């Protein structure tokens, strides 16, 4: 039996469990029982990722981040504080230097403002391609996605099969509210990105992120010059 088929069978077994009513720790216990060291969390050091990282503090589960080369200085500071807090190394993945060099030389350093096509190309080089390298060889990819983040994420399941990357994808905080996340941060003294306190809610690359205004959608500050209903970078493509 191929590794892919074996993993799909395990995925089907997991879908029979009612994970939605379990705590984060209980969900992680189940994942470790099935997959041991084949689990990894992707973090951008958002509130949600910081909460999940806290639950991984004493677990043998890997964490990685994508350094696009255009992150905020505050994000790097949060990265440093988080490693010290967890007493755990966070793996760093970077875009291909030659592809970035070619893209920037040909299109310009801020060409992503010119068209959706160029913005998606930039995201693909800086994020999507490094992601594929980061999760290769793993069985489970943990994310900090919450249903409240955007209309595109309201109907996804906590447990998904990612056909593109042939991996099980799980969102332990999917049904958490923003207040639950903030309460957990405060209660457990978890470090967080100081930009959150300045109106930055969803934080990505510096040129593509701005603070949101009162009443705006959670992701209004990301790629704000584009159609508000179609703003994804390609990391999370939800298949029906």
Round to whole Å and give the CA distance between 205 and 126. Answer: 10
- For 178-207, what is each residue's pLDDT tens digit? 999 999 999 999 999 999 999 999 899 999
State the pTM of this model: 0.90
- For 7-17, what is each residue's pLDDT tens digit? 999 999 999 99
The domain that holds 82 is classified in CATH as: 3.40.50.620
Asked if 208 is an active-site residue, the reply is: no
Structural domain count, the chain = 1
Round to whole Å and give the CA distance between 118 and 108. Answer: 10
Question: Which one of 123, 205, 208, 233 is the catalytic residue?
Answer: 233
- The answer as to whether 132 is a domain residue is yes
- The SS3 of residue 142 is strand
Structure tokens at 123: 């995201």
- The answer as to whether 226 is a domain residue is no
Between 6 and 125, name the one with better pLDDT.
Answer: 125
- The answer as to whether 154 is a domain residue is yes
- The answer as to whether 228 is a domain residue is no
Q: Tell me the residue range of the domain where 112 lies.
A: 3-208
- The SS3 of residue 39 is strand
């Amino acid at each position: 039996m191929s590794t892919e088929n074996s993993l799909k069978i395990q995925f089907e077994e997991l879908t029979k469990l009612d994970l939605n009513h379990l705590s984060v720790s209980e969900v992680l216990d189940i994942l470790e029982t099935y997959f041991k060291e084949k689990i990894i969390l992707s973090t951008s050091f958002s509130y949600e990722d910081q909460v999940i990282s806290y639950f991984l503090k004493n677990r043998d589960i890997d964490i990685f981040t994508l350094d696009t080369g255009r992150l905020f200085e505050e994000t790097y500071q949060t990265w440093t504080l988080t490693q010290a807090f967890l007493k755990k190394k966070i793996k760093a993945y970077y875009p291909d230097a030659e592809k970035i060099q070619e893209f920037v030389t040909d299109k310009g350093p801020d060409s992503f403002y010119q068209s959706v096509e160029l913005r998606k190309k930039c995201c693909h080089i800086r994020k999507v391609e490094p992601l594929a390298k980061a999760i290769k060889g793993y069985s489970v990819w943990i994310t900090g996605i919450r249903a409240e983040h955007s209309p595109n994420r309201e109907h996804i399941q906590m447990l998904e099969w990612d056909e593109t990357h042939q991996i099980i994808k799980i969102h332990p905080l999917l049904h958490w509210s923003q207040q639950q996340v903030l309460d957990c941060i405060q209660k457990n003294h978890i470090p967080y990105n100081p930009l959150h306190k300045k109106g930055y809610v969803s934080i990505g690359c510096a040129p593509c992120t701005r603070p949101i205004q009162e009443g705006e959608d959670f992701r209004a500050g990301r790629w704000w010059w584009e159609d508000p209903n179609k703003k994804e970078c390609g990391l999370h493509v939800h298949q029906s």
